[in-house]
A and B are shown apart, each in its own frame.
Chain A
Amino acid sequence: TQLLEQSPQFLSIQEGENLTVYCNSSSVFSSLQWYRQEPGEGPVLLVTVVTGGEVKKLKRLTFQFGDARKDSSLHITAAQPGDTGLYLCAGVKWPQGGSEKLVFGKGTKLTVNP
Protein backbone atom coordinates (compact mmCIF):
# COMPACT_ATOMS: atom_id res chain seq x y z
CA THR A 1 0.00 0.00 0.00
CA GLN A 2 1.45 3.33 -1.11
CA LEU A 3 0.81 5.83 1.67
CA LEU A 4 1.66 8.87 -0.43
CA GLU A 5 0.50 9.13 -4.03
CA GLN A 6 2.26 11.61 -6.28
CA SER A 7 0.90 12.78 -9.61
CA PRO A 8 1.73 13.01 -12.34
CA GLN A 9 4.52 10.43 -12.41
CA PHE A 10 6.13 12.07 -15.45
CA LEU A 11 5.82 15.62 -16.78
CA SER A 12 7.54 17.10 -19.82
CA ILE A 13 6.93 20.78 -20.54
CA GLN A 14 8.42 23.73 -22.42
CA GLU A 15 10.41 26.47 -20.78
CA GLY A 16 8.14 29.24 -19.49
CA GLU A 17 5.12 27.03 -18.78
CA ASN A 18 3.53 26.64 -15.36
CA LEU A 19 2.95 23.30 -13.67
CA THR A 20 1.55 21.74 -10.50
CA VAL A 21 2.61 18.50 -8.86
CA TYR A 22 0.36 16.80 -6.31
CA CYS A 23 1.03 14.66 -3.27
CA ASN A 24 -2.04 12.95 -1.78
CA SER A 25 -2.76 10.61 1.10
CA SER A 26 -5.60 9.33 3.24
CA SER A 27 -3.32 9.68 6.26
CA VAL A 28 -2.64 12.77 8.35
CA PHE A 29 0.96 13.90 8.63
CA SER A 30 2.56 16.09 11.28
CA SER A 31 4.50 17.82 8.50
CA LEU A 32 5.41 17.32 4.88
CA GLN A 33 8.65 17.84 3.03
CA TRP A 34 9.51 18.31 -0.64
CA TYR A 35 12.86 17.21 -2.05
CA ARG A 36 14.41 17.63 -5.49
CA GLN A 37 16.79 15.05 -6.86
CA GLU A 38 19.02 15.62 -9.87
CA PRO A 39 20.48 12.71 -11.89
CA GLY A 40 23.39 11.03 -10.11
CA GLU A 41 22.77 12.92 -6.87
CA GLY A 42 20.87 12.42 -3.64
CA PRO A 43 17.61 14.25 -2.84
CA VAL A 44 17.98 17.79 -1.51
CA LEU A 45 15.38 19.34 0.77
CA LEU A 46 13.40 22.22 -0.74
CA VAL A 47 10.88 22.98 2.00
CA THR A 48 9.05 21.70 5.06
CA VAL A 49 5.40 22.63 5.62
CA VAL A 50 4.00 22.11 9.08
CA THR A 51 0.65 23.86 9.53
CA GLY A 52 -2.56 22.89 7.72
CA GLY A 53 -3.22 25.43 4.96
CA GLU A 54 0.35 26.72 5.07
CA VAL A 55 1.78 28.24 1.90
CA LYS A 56 5.52 28.69 1.38
CA LYS A 57 7.25 30.34 -1.55
CA LEU A 58 10.75 29.63 -2.75
CA LYS A 59 11.40 31.97 -5.71
CA ARG A 60 9.21 30.53 -8.52
CA LEU A 61 8.13 27.51 -6.43
CA THR A 62 4.99 27.63 -4.26
CA PHE A 63 4.26 24.87 -1.80
CA GLN A 64 0.93 24.33 -0.08
CA PHE A 65 -0.04 21.98 2.74
CA GLY A 66 -3.69 20.90 2.73
CA ASP A 67 -5.98 22.13 5.50
CA ALA A 68 -6.37 18.58 6.83
CA ARG A 69 -2.61 17.89 6.53
CA LYS A 70 -3.26 14.94 4.19
CA ASP A 71 -2.07 16.43 0.93
CA SER A 72 0.28 18.97 -0.59
CA SER A 73 1.01 20.63 -3.90
CA LEU A 74 4.03 22.16 -5.58
CA HIS A 75 3.43 24.84 -8.20
CA ILE A 76 6.23 26.08 -10.43
CA THR A 77 5.78 29.33 -12.33
CA ALA A 78 7.61 29.95 -15.61
CA ALA A 79 9.56 26.70 -15.46
CA GLN A 80 13.21 26.73 -16.51
CA PRO A 81 15.50 23.90 -17.68
CA GLY A 82 17.26 24.10 -14.32
CA ASP A 83 14.02 22.92 -12.66
CA THR A 84 14.44 19.53 -14.33
CA GLY A 85 14.66 16.71 -11.80
CA LEU A 86 12.77 14.22 -9.67
CA TYR A 87 10.49 15.86 -7.12
CA LEU A 88 9.75 13.77 -4.04
CA CYS A 89 7.27 14.48 -1.30
CA ALA A 90 7.76 12.94 2.12
CA GLY A 91 5.24 12.84 4.93
CA VAL A 92 6.35 12.86 8.56
CA LYS A 93 4.46 10.63 10.99
CA TRP A 94 4.93 9.84 14.66
CA PRO A 95 3.86 6.20 15.22
CA GLN A 96 2.55 5.52 18.71
CA GLY A 97 5.50 4.65 20.94
CA GLY A 98 7.94 4.89 18.05
CA SER A 99 10.35 7.41 16.61
CA GLU A 100 9.57 9.81 13.78
CA LYS A 101 8.94 8.08 10.46
CA LEU A 102 9.38 9.61 7.02
CA VAL A 103 7.25 8.17 4.20
CA PHE A 104 8.27 9.00 0.63
CA GLY A 105 6.08 9.22 -2.44
CA LYS A 106 7.31 7.63 -5.68
CA GLY A 107 8.22 10.99 -7.17
CA THR A 108 7.38 13.14 -10.17
CA LYS A 109 10.00 13.24 -12.90
CA LEU A 110 9.95 16.74 -14.44
CA THR A 111 11.68 17.62 -17.70
CA VAL A 112 11.72 21.26 -18.81
CA ASN A 113 12.72 21.60 -22.45
CA PRO A 114 14.47 24.78 -23.67
Chain B
Amino acid sequence: NAGVTQTPKFRILKIGQSMTLQCAQDMNHNYMYWYRQDPGMGLKLIYYSVGAGITDKGEVPNGYNVSRSTTEDFPLRLELAAPSQTSVYFCASRGRASGANVLTFGAGSRLTVL
Protein backbone atom coordinates (compact mmCIF):
# COMPACT_ATOMS: atom_id res chain seq x y z
CA ASN B 1 0.00 0.00 0.00
CA ALA B 2 1.21 3.50 -0.83
CA GLY B 3 -0.48 5.05 2.23
CA VAL B 4 -0.63 8.85 1.87
CA THR B 5 0.93 10.36 -1.24
CA GLN B 6 1.68 14.07 -1.56
CA THR B 7 2.75 16.01 -4.62
CA PRO B 8 4.79 18.04 -5.36
CA LYS B 9 7.67 17.38 -2.96
CA PHE B 10 9.12 20.86 -3.50
CA ARG B 11 7.75 24.05 -5.04
CA ILE B 12 8.85 27.68 -5.29
CA LEU B 13 6.15 30.29 -5.85
CA LYS B 14 6.24 33.99 -6.45
CA ILE B 15 4.11 36.28 -4.27
CA GLY B 16 0.56 36.37 -5.61
CA GLN B 17 0.73 33.08 -7.51
CA SER B 18 -1.68 30.23 -6.80
CA MET B 19 -1.15 26.51 -6.62
CA THR B 20 -2.68 23.26 -5.41
CA LEU B 21 -0.98 20.70 -3.20
CA GLN B 22 -2.25 17.23 -3.97
CA CYS B 23 -2.94 14.51 -1.41
CA ALA B 24 -4.22 11.00 -2.03
CA GLN B 25 -4.70 8.03 0.30
CA ASP B 26 -5.50 4.43 -0.56
CA MET B 27 -6.59 3.23 2.90
CA ASN B 28 -10.27 4.17 2.52
CA HIS B 29 -10.01 6.52 5.50
CA ASN B 30 -12.83 9.00 6.02
CA TYR B 31 -10.87 11.56 8.02
CA MET B 32 -8.14 13.57 6.30
CA TYR B 33 -6.10 16.55 7.47
CA TRP B 34 -3.75 19.26 6.25
CA TYR B 35 -1.05 20.55 8.60
CA ARG B 36 1.74 23.04 8.20
CA GLN B 37 5.02 22.69 10.04
CA ASP B 38 7.27 25.67 10.70
CA PRO B 39 10.67 25.34 12.44
CA GLY B 40 10.28 25.04 16.20
CA MET B 41 6.50 25.44 15.98
CA GLY B 42 5.19 21.90 15.73
CA LEU B 43 2.22 21.02 13.53
CA LYS B 44 -0.65 23.45 12.99
CA LEU B 45 -3.97 22.20 11.57
CA ILE B 46 -5.11 24.09 8.47
CA TYR B 47 -8.23 22.19 7.35
CA TYR B 48 -9.72 18.78 7.86
CA SER B 49 -12.41 16.61 6.33
CA VAL B 50 -14.58 13.92 7.93
CA GLY B 51 -15.66 12.45 4.60
CA ALA B 52 -16.34 13.19 0.95
CA GLY B 53 -18.14 16.50 0.57
CA ILE B 54 -17.48 17.65 4.16
CA THR B 55 -14.64 19.97 5.18
CA ASP B 56 -13.99 22.26 8.12
CA LYS B 57 -11.45 24.84 9.26
CA GLY B 58 -8.60 24.11 11.63
CA GLU B 59 -6.43 26.54 13.60
CA VAL B 60 -4.83 28.43 10.68
CA PRO B 61 -7.17 28.33 7.61
CA ASN B 62 -6.65 31.85 6.27
CA GLY B 63 -5.19 31.93 2.77
CA TYR B 64 -6.10 28.30 2.03
CA ASN B 65 -9.01 26.36 0.60
CA VAL B 66 -9.79 22.66 0.38
CA SER B 67 -12.22 20.35 -1.34
CA ARG B 68 -13.09 16.68 -0.86
CA SER B 69 -14.94 15.31 -3.86
CA THR B 70 -13.79 11.71 -3.27
CA THR B 71 -12.70 9.65 -0.26
CA GLU B 72 -9.22 9.28 -1.73
CA ASP B 73 -8.28 12.88 -2.56
CA PHE B 74 -7.97 16.00 -0.42
CA PRO B 75 -6.25 18.84 -2.31
CA LEU B 76 -5.12 22.06 -0.59
CA ARG B 77 -5.29 25.26 -2.63
CA LEU B 78 -3.24 28.35 -1.95
CA GLU B 79 -4.65 31.52 -3.47
CA LEU B 80 -2.47 34.63 -3.75
CA ALA B 81 0.62 33.10 -2.13
CA ALA B 82 2.37 35.16 0.57
CA PRO B 83 5.83 34.74 2.16
CA SER B 84 4.08 33.76 5.42
CA GLN B 85 2.92 30.60 3.65
CA THR B 86 6.49 29.38 3.25
CA SER B 87 6.38 26.12 5.18
CA VAL B 88 6.35 22.35 4.96
CA TYR B 89 2.84 21.01 4.42
CA PHE B 90 1.75 17.57 5.57
CA CYS B 91 -1.37 15.69 4.63
CA ALA B 92 -2.59 12.91 6.90
CA SER B 93 -5.43 10.43 7.07
CA ARG B 94 -6.88 8.80 10.18
CA GLY B 95 -7.33 5.11 10.76
CA ARG B 96 -7.59 2.73 13.72
CA ALA B 97 -4.80 0.75 15.31
CA SER B 98 -4.83 -1.07 18.67
CA GLY B 99 -8.14 0.52 19.58
CA ALA B 100 -7.02 4.11 19.01
CA ASN B 101 -7.28 6.62 16.19
CA VAL B 102 -3.90 7.15 14.57
CA LEU B 103 -2.68 9.43 11.80
CA THR B 104 -0.72 8.31 8.75
CA PHE B 105 1.22 11.19 7.27
CA GLY B 106 2.50 11.84 3.80
CA ALA B 107 6.15 12.73 3.20
CA GLY B 108 5.41 16.45 3.01
CA SER B 109 5.49 19.25 0.45
CA ARG B 110 8.07 22.01 0.99
CA LEU B 111 6.76 25.33 -0.30
CA THR B 112 8.80 28.52 -0.60
CA VAL B 113 7.14 31.82 -1.49
CA LEU B 114 9.51 34.53 -2.73
Contacts and interface: CB of A to CB of B under 8 A. Distances in A.
Interface string A7-43: 0010000000000000000000001010000001111
Majority secondary structure of chain A interface residues (helix, strand, loop or mixed): loop
Given A40-B108, A99-B50, A104 B101 contact: no
Interface of B: 4, 40-43, 45, 50, 90, 92, 97-108
A49 to B, nearest CB: 9
Contact of A45 (B4, B40, B102, B108): B102
> Looking at chain B's contact residues, is the secondary structure mostly helix, strand, loop, or mixed?
strand
B94 to A, nearest CB: 8
Contacts, number: 46
Nearest to A109: B40
A9 to B, nearest CB: 7
A59 to B, nearest CB: 17
Contacts of B100: 31, 33, 48, 50, 92
Contacts of A100: 101
Contact of A102 (B40, B50, B90, B103): B103
Q: Give chain A's interface residue range (CB within 8 Å of chain B).
A: 20 to 34
Nearest to A48: B100
Interface in A50-87: 50
B19 to A, nearest CB: 20
Contacts of B99: 50
A107 B38 CA distance: 11
24 contacts: A31-B100, A40-B108, A41-B108, A42-B4, A42-B90, A42-B92, A42-B107, A43-B90, A44-B105, A45-B97, A45-B102, A45-B103, A45-B104, A48-B97, A48-B100, A48-B102, A50-B99, A50-B100, A88-B42, A92-B100, A99-B50, A100-B101, A107-B40, A107-B42
